[in-house]
Amino acid sequence: MKVRFSFLTSLVLALIFSACSNEETPQNSPNSVSGKVVEPVDTSVRAELFEDPHSYSKENAKVTHLNWEASVDFDAKVISATAEWVLSPEHADTVVFDVKDLEIEKVLVDGESSAWSIEGNDELLGSALVIPAGGAQIIGIQYKTSPQAEALQWYPAELTQGKRQPFLFTQSQAILARTWIPCQDRPGVRFTYEATVKVPKETLALMSASNPTQKNEQGIYEFNMPQPIPSYLLALGVGDLAFIPIGDRAGVYAEPEMVRNAAYEFAQTDEMILDAEEMYGPYYWGRYDMLVLPPSFPFGGMENPRLTFLTPTVIVGDQSLVSLIAHELAHSWSGNLVTNATWNDFWINEGFTVYFEMRIMEKLYGVEFANMLEALSYDDLQKELAVMLEENVAATSLKQDLKGKNPDDGVTAIAYDKGFHFLRLCENTVGREKWDEFLKSYFDKYKFKTMVTEVFLQELAGVLTQGQWDSIGVEEWIYGTGLPVNCPFPVSNRFVVVDDAVRMMLSADPQADNVKSMVYLPQETTIRWTTQEWLRYIRGLEAGGASEGHYALADANYGFTGSPNPEIIAAWYSAILKTNFEGYDANMYTEKVESFLGSVGRRKFIVPMYQSMLDGDKKRQEWAKKIYMDSRASYHPLAQGTLDDLFSETME
């Protein structure tokens, strides 16, 4: 396995090693009961580690509070607003904000009109808004957003469930908050906020803050977020929304047509919060509500504090996809409470969150269910790794160097699944009880603070003995590429049954006379299968090189083509679109593919489907292009970006 060390990591490792080589570590070292000692990260190295390559803002002039007054204009697709920023008491004479595609109208420094300048114009980072503000306390920026703002999706009324009102939602992570609020757009700066937002009377406005539950006559809503958050957690949603509470602390907002189904699907949320608190300490954010977005939302979920944003594609009627809620809820600790200092440390957010998600799922639904999720995570990791090791080996380390790159490049199975498996290995090594104690105190110690990998390693050293540290191979896991050989392998008993079914299918000759009696498991078994088992089944057929005949047999019995579950549909079509399978009714198949891609914009679903089509012959590629051209306008700017790249790479 190749191991790539950057200059910085070698420096940090040198520091760590100089302090912890076996010989030099006293057996009864007073500052480490476990015997592993790591020196505190040196101040100058520390400054480098916390330096954010994706923001123009400066360490020496930070904000502490935001007062946002905004008005939302659906016709013009513009938000007009004033962002009033309170500065930290001691700051440099020049204050810098990140802006992208914003029209700055006026700047006030302590209430007085002030000069300002825009510097730089980077396609990825936007520009620096530079304001002379020596000794000032408050900077007010009056501005308008652009109809093309990347963080905003203006969703037309016709495409909503109720078709009555348009919908607007934001997606700030990773560096898009700057396209709707001038801000110090990096995870290392935290601030509290208040907001007043005016929207059309027929709609309700919600933010990542304290929220209303009902519309009012004026269409003006007030918000307060008393816990300090980084800019990527700023969020706004506006639409024709209703609310249903779930227990004491949780609730769901959705279009009236969907809100009951959503409340049923997420009925366990209150219990999840209790389970999570029991493991890793108090939930610090007051309420935990969820907002169901239109199907164009490019993600599964987004952990906006107090108000998780969700895709409607997890509302499938059997609560089988609620690990997504466990995931976004887990971010209330890993991410929102202890935050990656820069996007280079993204695994500190996502790896911990997947780990915590699995623990919540295990607690609530049992170890067998969690094992299936873990096995799927392992498969995702292997699949993505195979491609990444061909294309971009450096991107397979947990610690990333994203300077000059889009932080979205770091959103891969590495941060999520390699991160998860590393933490699972740590747990296996020290034992669950001690590990949980460690994590609980870690969340407490660093609450409302930012975290870099190197500081986490220092903490980790406190819970591992030298021998454990070495047997895990901590440095190789963090800075090395690929997947270390000691990666835990999740075993799922329920998947053993599924894998048998896959084998039965693949070993049969689809043309044989009595083939149907040989390829299916008894219905008593498959009737109990959850989404996870079906995903394993479909992926198993795909990985095993199923022929069109095999797919036809599977579809005839299990009806994948007509499944109401988007997770199953996406896996199914991604598999069969690589073949010439056209189902039992070619027209129906064509229509279903087109209507799915025309109505759902979740990247995880649509990118593999388009990819499968683009891997096919010219005719298939042209079909993909036509569907994309027809559907593009209904996709989120982020999904458009991903797919534009995909199409331009494949079809010059």
Cα 638 versus chain centre, distance: 13
Residue 284 bears catalytic tag: no
Which of 101, 240, 265, 303 is close enough to bind ligand BES by CB under 6 A?
303
Pick one of Zn ion, ligand BES, none as the site partner of residue 302 (Cβ within 5 to 8 A by kind): ligand BES
AA identity, residue 481: T
**Six-digit token string for 448:** 């409302």
Q: Which residue, 581 or 610, is less far from ligand BES as judged by CB?
A: 610
Helix (H, G, I), strand (E, B) or coil at 638: helix
| Torsion (CA) 221, 199, 209, 352 in degrees, nearest 10 | 170
Q: Which stretch binds ligand BES (CB under 6 A): 112-120, 121-129, 325-333, 575-583?
A: 325-333
Draw the binding track, 347-386, toward Zn ion (x: CB under 5 A; -: no contact): ---x--x---------------------------------
Is residue 355 within 8 A of residue 424, CB to CB? The reply is yes
Mutual orientation of helices 637-650 and 618-631 as an angle, nearest 10°? Answer: 160
**Six-digit token string for 193:** 């906020």
Q: Which residue, 254 or 546, is less far from ligand BES as judged by CB?
A: 254
- Across 156-311, where does the E strand assignment appear? 167-170, 190-198, 204-207, 220-230, 236-239, 242-246, 250-254, 288-292, 301-302, 307-310
- CB of residue 153 to ligand BES, shortest distance in Å: 14
Q: Which residue, 91 or 418, is less far from ligand BES as judged by CB?
A: 418
Q: Which residue, 181 or 325, is less far from Zn ion as judged by CB?
A: 325
Tell me if 327 contacts ligand BES by CB under 6 A. yes
- CB of residue 51 to ligand BES, shortest distance in Å: 20
Pick one of Zn ion, ligand BES, none as the site partner of residue 174 (Cβ within 5 to 8 A by kind): ligand BES
- CB of residue 249 to Zn ion, shortest distance in Å: 21
Draw the binding track, 604-623, toward ligand BES (x: CB under 6 A; -: no contact): x-------------------
- CB of residue 546 to Zn ion, shortest distance in Å: 32
Tell me if 411 contacts ligand BES by CB under 6 A. yes
Cα–Cα separations (whole angstroms), residue 428 to 38, 347, 432: 21, 19, 7
Residue 416 bears catalytic tag: yes
Helix (H, G, I), strand (E, B) or coil at 455: helix
Q: How many CB atoms lie within 10 A of CB 232?
A: 28
Which of 36, 100, 331, 536 is close enough to bind ligand BES by CB under 6 A?
331
Which of 126, 219, 251, 301 is close enough to bind ligand BES by CB under 6 A?
301
Contacts with ligand BES in 340-379 (CB under 6 A)?
350
**Six-digit token string for 440:** 């609980």
**Six-digit token string for 430:** 């020290």
Phi, psi of 385 (to 5 degrees): -60, -45
Q: Which stretch binds ligand BES (CB under 6 A): 43-51, 235-243, 245-253, 301-309?
A: 301-309
Q: Which stretch binds ligand BES (CB under 6 A): 26-34, 140-148, 324-332, 541-549?
A: 324-332
Contacts with ligand BES in 108-127 (CB under 6 A)?
none
Write out 25-63 in H/E/C secondary structure. Answer: CCCCCCCCCCCCCCCCCCHHHHHHHHCCCCCCCCCCCCE
Q: Which residue, 309 or 479, is less far from ligand BES as judged by CB?
A: 309
Residue among 509, 520, 494 at smallest CA distance from 547: 509
Contacts with ligand BES in 173-212 (CB under 6 A)?
173-174
Is residue 450 within 8 A of residue 464, CB to CB? The reply is no
How many residues bind Zn ion, per CB under 5 A? 2
Residue among 50, 180, 174, 71 at smallest CA distance from 124: 174
Pick one of Zn ion, ligand BES, none as the site partner of residue 384 (Cβ within 5 to 8 A by kind): none
Pick one of ligand BES, Zn ion, none as the site partner of residue 299 (Cβ within 5 to 8 A by kind): ligand BES
Catalytic residue among 84, 194, 328, 427: 328
Q: Rg of the Cα trace of the chain? A: 25
Which of 237, 300, 480, 566 is close enough to bind ligand BES by CB under 6 A?
300
Pick one of Zn ion, ligand BES, none as the site partner of residue 293 (Cβ within 5 to 8 A by kind): none
Pick one of Zn ion, ligand BES, none as the site partner of residue 604 (Cβ within 5 to 8 A by kind): ligand BES
Element (H, E) at 95: strand 94-99
Q: Which residue, 312 or 335, is less far from Zn ion as judged by CB?
A: 335
**Cα gap 181→151, rounded to integer Å:** 10
Q: Which stretch binds Zn ion (CB under 5 A): 47-55, 146-154, 344-352, 570-578?
A: 344-352
Identify how many contiguous H helices and E strands the chain contains and give both numbers: 23, 21
Catalytic residue among 416, 537, 573, 628: 416
Cα–Cα separations (whole angstroms), residue 168 to 160, 241, 342: 11, 11, 28
Residues lying near ligand BES in the complex (CB under 6 A) = 173-174, 299-303, 324, 327-328, 331, 350, 411, 416, 604
Residues lying near Zn ion in the complex (CB under 5 A) = 350, 353
Task: Provide the annotated active-site residues.
Answer: 328, 416
